Amino acid sequence: MANDTTDVMVIGAGVVGLACAFRLAREGQRVLLIDRDEPGRGASFGNAGHIATEQVFPLASPEVLRGAVRYLLDSESPLRIQPAYLSRILPWLLRFAWAARRSAFERGVTALASLQKSAAADITSLLRDAGAARLLKMNGHLVLVEKPESVRAAQQEIARLRAFGIDAEWISPQRVTQIAPEITAHVEGALQFTGTGHVEDPYAVCTALRDAFIAAGGTFVQTKIEGVGNTSAGFRAVNASGGQYVARHLVLACGAWSKSLAEQLGYVVPLDTERGYHITLPGVVPRFSVPIASFERKVIMTPMSCGLRMTGTVEFGGLDLSPDPKRFALLKRHMRALAGDIPTETATNWMGFRPSLPDHLPVLGRVPDGRNLYFAFGHQHLGLTLAGVTARIIAAQVMRRDAGIDMAPFAANRF
């Protein structure tokens, strides 16, 4: 490949990179997709599978900031920082606090809502075109409310969401039992969403996109890229053994590992890592057919073809520290508390790395300096949800079409 200049090189084969590569190959571009692992083996492998189109409020918010001390002092908090990582993340936390100002938060909501507006249609179209429509179930989800003191806040959330065209209604405990008989926890009621969904298996989504990409003429190379830079023809990427790959356009979509390559290309972005944990119960097929989340616990259970999966909590600990076994134990306790009759003894554990920026908006789109360089990373826990809209935007920009969205809030130089 060293002597062959391809049209587009996409670095990163998670769900976002795969979606971008597939869309560009469908446009007739010669696309080279590169990742150090097999496609879909990173954060995309173990996510909740939830198509979270209702999430228009960034984590960087006044409410989270007010509760920050309480969160950080509680070892079982849904928001946790590994003590060994605290000194390294302090600059990021200061930026997070700045992004949580009311005015900045409101701008972030508007920006995130602009992506979410078409996210459901875009992921539906993406998977249909990839021949994987069967994997997508757009039949909503529930958010359980267990504490009486949480009811008012949960019901107020409905009004906040409706302002963005997001459909939710309050349902009774009896209705919760009808939908999800396995729920044994006492609940005051639940939020029922109708415009959201889930996928049967996130990894199956990635393999379907990989196969569709190859069928569309794309090429995948498994290698670790160590360096990137400009050439007279466009861009060059170099692997550890000195192999070179050249393309006229470059899409950087390698998630939590994007920071160093972005810096080599001239953009210093304050990217850090949210470590996501899950447990999966193989062979467990619940009677509920939609994801079940908890308003207070900040976890979500998703019925999948590979079993029942629970994910949740946000932990900052970088790319090098070992997983915290306490987080897996916490997820099992939440599972037993919500659905006490479901056995957790056979649970498998997984931890992956989500790319996270202080304002909780992705870095997305063509870079401001005019090069044929496109960033598509920093989606935090919305990578699957926003994969379709991200791919549509990147393909439009490469093909010099209007993306139909204000890209300024996602610019690489906004920091």
- d(CA 104, CA 308) in angstroms, rounded, equals 37
- d(CA 401, CA 415) in angstroms, rounded, equals 26
For residue 4, pLDDT beyond 50: yes
Percent of the chain with pLDDT over 90: 88
Region 328-346: mean pLDDT is 95
List the alpha helices (DSSP H) in 10-85. 15-26, 62-66, 68-73
For residue 218, pLDDT beyond 70: yes
- The letter for the amino acid at 55 is Q
- d(CA 63, CA 227) in angstroms, rounded, equals 40
22-70 pLDDT per residue, tens? 999 999 999 999 999 999 999 999 999 999 999 999 988 988 888 776 6
Neighbours of 276 (CB within 10 A): 22
pLDDT of the residue at 224: 96
Neighbours of 149 (CB within 10 A): 9
For residue 17, pLDDT beyond 80: yes
233-282 pLDDT per residue, tens? 899 999 989 999 999 999 999 999 999 999 999 999 999 999 999 999 99
pLDDT of the residue at 1: 46
Closest CA to 199 of 69, 323, 52, 76: 52
Return the minimum-mean-pLDDT range out of 79-88, 158-167, 292-301, 305-314. Answer: 79-88
- d(CA 102, CA 106) in angstroms, rounded, equals 6
pLDDT of the residue at 233: 87
Element containing residue 219 per DSSP (H, E): strand 219-222
* Side-by-side strand order, sheet with 197-199: 50-51, 197-199, 136-137
What are the structural domain ranges in the chain? 55-90+135-190+274-352
Residue 357 to residues 95, 97, 116, 410: CA-CA distances in angstroms?
9, 12, 18, 11
Region 369-381: mean pLDDT is 96
pLDDT of the residue at 69: 66
Region 108-135: mean pLDDT is 97
Banded pLDDT at 76 (limits 50, 70, 90): confident
What topology does CATH give the domain 55-90+135-190+274-352?
D-Amino Acid Oxidase; Chain A, domain 2 (3.30.9)
**Biggest alpha carbon distance in the chain?**
66
Return the minimum-mean-pLDDT range out of 28-32, 274-278, 300-304, 406-410. Answer: 274-278
Structure tokens at 251: 């899409």
Q: Beta strands 168-171 and 189-193: pairing type?
A: antiparallel
pLDDT, averaged across the chain: 94
Q: At what angle do helices 383-398 and 119-129 cross, to 10 degrees?
A: 80
Strand ranges in 254-398 using DSSP code E only, listed in sequence order: 272-281, 292-294, 299-304, 307-316, 348-356, 363-366, 373-377
- d(CA 50, CA 37) in angstroms, rounded, equals 23
For residue 361, pLDDT beyond 50: yes
Q: Is the model more confident about 364 or about 79?
A: 364
159-172 pLDDT per residue, tens? 999 988 899 999 99
For residue 2, pLDDT beyond 60: no
pTM of the model: 0.95
- d(CA 173, CA 54) in angstroms, rounded, equals 22
- d(CA 133, CA 117) in angstroms, rounded, equals 20
